A and B are shown apart, each in its own frame.
Chain A
Amino acid sequence: MDFNSNNCTWNVIDSIGVLTINDLPENRILRPEFVSVDQLKEWTGDTTLRGIVITGAGRHFSSGADLDGLREMAKEPYRLASEMQRGNELLNFIGNIPLPVVAAISGICFGAGLEIALSCHIRICSENSVFAFPESGLGIIPGLGGSMRLLKASDIETCMQMLLAGELFDAAMAKKAGIVHQVISEKQVKAFSIEYLKRLVADRPSEVIRAVVTAINNACFLPVDEALKRETAMFCDLAVKRFNS
């Protein structure tokens, strides 16, 4: 199954949905809503899915926002704000998908590209990956929740180094800082990530996968007492269903 939409392709391999940012050679993000939210909702609404991988075509994940495009958009402040808002909605949507989402990263992962990777649950990268937020050097800041997501994934020092100083992190540094979870030597990060996900969810009923991931998403985005309440409710539903059969 292959679809095209806004420079992104989608296919499903062994129940793992794979979203590929496809704007070679560097997969520049042409607009904040790099794939239409409605389109992504449709693709990820496939109830047979058990996990999702987001990756970049070719050698790199993404070098970030297309600056020419940004310059054009910035001529109309209202349009820029609206585009950024849609980008935020997209990344928030990704962060709330009730399936495990893995960013499979190789090569360059900068700026908006890194923001996209950070909106995923898990990041797996190749040894040659490099990470950075170059925005401060351009007189701007990450505009798609990068600061918040970087802090959640790592720590204050890393945030200062990357966001203020614009420092480049290689794969080993990124692993140490908590930005990525696995660094692999294989070239095929995408294939590795698909296999990793398949193993992770192997033999689990779909409703269990979705409940667990939803609970963890809630822990991330909702106030604690609401997240706890919903976790308990989902447990009850599963328990009654499971022990009734």
Chain B
Amino acid sequence: MVLTSSNSEDPVFFEISDQIGYIVLNDPPENRMTLRFFEMLQTIIDRVRLLDTLKGVVICSNSRHFSSGADLPELTSALRQERSADSDAHLSILVKNSHCFTAISELKMPVIAAIQGLCMGSAYELALCADVRVAEPHSTLGLPEVEYGVMPGCGGTVRLSKLTGTASALELILSGQLLAADEALREGLVDIVVLRKQAVGYARKIIIDAYGKCEKKSIISMVRKETGCYISGSSDLVNKT
């Protein structure tokens, strides 16, 4: 399902269809998360927050990949500029970006990430803000920031720990490993792997199935039970029904 928008220049846009909201990453081929991306995403979230009638939100991509992550050189250049301008303001850009992701995790309606291709670094941090992660077979996921001498800075360490437990998170983040879809499923990084081009459709199905029946926090259990991928021993989130 290809989503279109009149603002097809924007690196990310928002659409509603049948009471389901779609946050669409739209900067092919890799949907790199630039500063402009984060600004537009924040605007979208500010709007979505106020939409009481939505059954749920799907975060997806209009191209081959979900996203290859943040534009690190641009980000660190901006950070350096901030620090030299005003030492007290040196956290402002990163904090804003992190708050933007947190705002997504705090949306009242279910949020499903529909993933294909690359989903790494900040892209996976974005997916972690969703309630459920649906992936297609040729996805590649991980938090490889250590390979660049840094670390996840938009909630990756916190949210992955809570999702998969401390040991798995430690291993994944320190090793900087990238996982294919089936490994990601085994480790709990994604909750279900569907057929090619079916992630968005399945995300929609989850929202419709859950609507009126299932609490936001329990949707992940609902999905995992359906697929038989019940991972015990991860966190309270997995085991609450």
Taking Cβ atoms with an 8 Å cutoff, the residues of A that contact B are: 100, 121-123, 151-158, 176-179, 181, 200-201, 204-205, 208-209, 211-213, 215-216, 218-220, 224-225, 227-229, 231-236, 238-240, 242-244
Contact = CB atoms under 8 A, between A and B. Distances in A.
A239 B80 CA distance: 9
A42 to B, nearest CB: 24
Closest 5 CB pairs of A and B: A178-B233, A235-B153, A215-B157, A243-B76, A219-B161
B233 A153 contact: yes
Contacts of A243: 72-73, 76-77, 80
Nearest to B98: A232
Nearest to A242: B149
Interface stretch (B10-18, B164-172, B209-217): B164-172
Contacts of A213: 170, 174
Nearest to B101: A228
11 contacts: A122-B170, A152-B235, A178-B234, A208-B146, A209-B174, A215-B158, A216-B173, A220-B161, A231-B156, A238-B149, A244-B80
A156 B150 contact: no
A233 B94 CA distance: 8
A240 B76 contact: yes
Contacts of A216: 157, 161, 166, 169-170, 173
Given A155-B238, A155-B239, A211-B151, 20 more contacts: A100-B170, A122-B170, A154-B233, A178-B165, A181-B168, A212-B157, A215-B158, A216-B166, A219-B161, A228-B155, A231-B156, A231-B157, A232-B91, A232-B94, A236-B79, A239-B72, A240-B80, A240-B90, A243-B73, A244-B80
B162 A212 contact: no
A238 B91 CA distance: 12
A152 B164 CA distance: 11
B146 A122 contact: no
Interface in B169-186: 169-171, 173-175
Given A220-B166, A238-B150, A212 B173 contact: yes
A163 B150 CA distance: 40
A183 to B, nearest CB: 13
Contacts of B145: 235
B232 interface: yes
B158 A224 contact: yes
A200 B72 CA distance: 24
Interface residues of B, number: 46
A243 B83 CA distance: 13
Contact of B153 (A178, A218, A231): A231
B150 A239 contact: yes
A169 to B, nearest CB: 12
Contacts, number: 140
A121 B167 contact: yes
Nearest to A233: B91
Given A200-B175, A208-B151, A238-B151, A219 B72 contact: no
Nearest to B169: A216
A153 B236 CA distance: 10
B170 A121 contact: yes
Contacts of A121: 166-167, 170
A157 to B, nearest CB: 8
A126 to B, nearest CB: 17
Contacts of B94: 232, 235-236
Contacts of A100: 170, 174
Contacts of A236: 79, 90-91, 94, 153
A225 B94 CA distance: 14
B218 interface: no
A153 B158 contact: no
B150 A205 contact: no
A108 B94 CA distance: 47
Contacts of A122: 166-167, 170-171
Given A121-B167, A178-B232, A232 B153 contact: yes
A179 B233 contact: yes
A3 to B, nearest CB: 27
